[in-house]
Amino acid sequence: MTSPISDSENWQPSELERRRRAERQRKTQKNVLIAGISSVLVLGTFSIILVNSPGWISLRDTFFKWAYGVEVLPKVILGFTTNITLTLIAGSSVALLGLLLALVRTSRSPALTPFRFLATIYVDVFRGIPMILVILLIGFGIPALQIPGVTNEVLILGTIAVIITYTAYVAEVLRSGILTVHPSQRAAARSLGLSHFQTLRHVVLPQAIKRVTPPLLNDLVALIKDTGLISILGVTDAVRAAQIQTAKSFNYTPYVMAALLFLAVTIPLTRYTDRILRRSMERQNAQGLT
């Protein structure tokens, strides 16, 4: 921004500035102290209430029996691989189909009018029906049709049901992102000679997707958990595996193990996305606003 000036290299802050810095540092230290004290107070109070409640001992034995938890962990993990596999397959399909749907809904081309109409109906319908009903309808309905050549595999049918529902959600999130990109951006891109598609690909979508990353991440985390819903068709996922163990032992620790597995995936995912977003915002935005 400017030329560095030689005599500023050995510039020493004035007495006043040194005082100001010391004062700012004192303020920061005070804030850290306050944050620490308030955290200890709040968390401490919660733990004391929890540990002193009358049923705490029996609750601890039924939900947090760690030795038993470790024993059943392999089975729960095996179920959890189903959740992860389904999330990867469904997630990538949903991203593609949702994007396609969002593009169709935001396009102005007259040739696409019937598709725009159909896309709107699709979103209205599948966003409105509880996913568990979609899973039941497809998981039990398709095999009942007995169409030759169509699979009866519940795992595949269940996954398709999840994809159908989530595509409707994600398409709407992406569409809202696309609509928030200012028309002047499109004008600038088109005036540089970029085609409609190139404009979408290089100018509109990168901005739109960045803006809707937090809600998309919401949907991804929800997807990881909702893949478990296809267990009603008889697929063994982490929750179902835990349920089987619990039914044998009448101890709920396997559920807690399943919950920890989900958290082990979703928390790092959230932190990672937050970091990427923050970095890209720091790079692009002007600094210094209070």
Phi, psi for residue 110 in degrees, rounded to 5: -65, -30
Which residue in 10, 24, 146, 163 binds another protein (CB under 8 A)?
Answer: 24
Residue 283 binding another protein, by CB under 8 A: no
Nearest distance, CB of residue 20 and another protein, angstroms: 5
Nearest distance, CB of residue 99 and another protein, angstroms: 26
Residues 6+ apart with CB under 8 A from 171: 97, 98, 99, 101, 102, 105, 119, 123
Helix (H) or strand (E) holding 79: helix 66-106
User: Which CB, 30 or 278, lies closer to another protein?
Assistant: 30
* Span near another protein by CB under 8 A; candidates 3-11, 49-57, 242-250, 267-275: 3-11
Residue 179 binding another protein, by CB under 8 A: no
77 close to 264: Cβ distance less than 8 angstroms: no
Which residue in 14, 52, 191, 284 binds another protein (CB under 8 A)?
Answer: 14
Residue 284 binding another protein, by CB under 8 A: no
10 Å Cβ neighbour count for 79?
Answer: 25
Residue 289 binding another protein, by CB under 8 A: yes
Which residue in 10, 146, 191, 290 binds another protein (CB under 8 A)?
Answer: 290
Name residue, tokens 């595509």: 167
174 close to 209: Cβ distance less than 8 angstroms: yes
Residue 8 binding another protein, by CB under 8 A: yes
User: Which CB, 34 or 267, lies closer to another protein?
Assistant: 34
Residues 6+ apart with CB under 8 A from 151: 157
Which residue in 10, 16, 248, 250 binds another protein (CB under 8 A)?
Answer: 16
Q: Write the binding mask 25 to 64 for another protein: x where contact by CB under 8 A, - elsewhere.
A: --x-------------------------------------
CA dihedral (169, 173, 178, 182) positive or negative: positive
In Å, what is the CA distance from 162 to each residue of 18, 91, 116, 136, 256?
A: 61, 9, 22, 11, 25
Interface positions with another protein (CB under 8 A): 1-5, 8, 11, 13-14, 16-17, 20, 23-24, 27, 182, 287-290
